[in-house]
A and B are shown apart, each in its own frame.
Chain A
Amino acid sequence: QSALTQPASVSGSPGQSITISCTGTSSDVGGYNYVSWYQQHPGKAPKLMIYDVTNRPSGISNRFSGSKSGNTASLTISGLQAEDEADYYCSSYTSSSTWVFGGGTKLTVL
């Protein structure tokens, strides 16, 4: 049950696009289309942003999009806004019938 690998930090200027990667194995990310992404502001509960690799829940801006290639999933945020500054976590279902999260990525909007 090793954590999925995410970059510790990414940054971008308002209006730019950034991509956060999430690397696992064929037993989790690569084996299932069950990757989800969460946004967490300091002191707040996580918020679902993307589910099943590419799907956005109602109410989530279309500036957020997800994709996957092999054992790596990605979250792209376009048109960066100040309120996007937060920690982002990926998650995947695993072949052990458990769930695993990434270590988290701190997004800084410059």
Chain B
Amino acid sequence: EVQLVESGGGLVQPGGSLRLSCAASGFTFSNSWMHWVRHAPGKGLVWVSRINSDGSTTSYADSVKGRFTISRDNAKNTLFLQMNSLTAEDTAVYYCTRPGYSISWGWRHWFDPWGQGTLVTVSS
């Protein structure tokens, strides 16, 4: 069974940092692209970041570019999100998710499955 388990969330002061982790199991993590998506209270889902299978290429939403860094440890089947210079607008549940895959077309543009999420609260 494919499983994604996030951890590392918590309460942090504005301007602080936090590192989220996502432990993957049930599939070949080292072959998989991965994403982070967040869900602020009362708002919609927002795509945050993506990393390719070996970690050599990444992309970010404009709202987090320069502050967040996505990375991975394929030996430990773990995805990370380093979050710096946090503001109240970063308060959200953060989900890790895997894109769909097609034998013909490779990594695709839908997200399945999702982890259960980890809550990040930025407040003084």
Contacts and interface: CB of A to CB of B under 8 A. Distances in A.
Nearest to A33: B109
A97 interface: yes
Interface residues of A, number: 27
Interface residues on B, range: 20 to 34
A104 B37 CA distance: 14
A52 B100 CA distance: 10
Contact of B111 (A1, A52, A91): A91
A46 interface: yes
A34 B105 CA distance: 12
Interface of A: 1, 3, 6, 32, 34, 36, 38, 40, 45-48, 51-52, 57, 89, 91-93, 97-104
Interface of B: 35, 37, 43-47, 50, 59, 61-63, 95, 100, 108-117
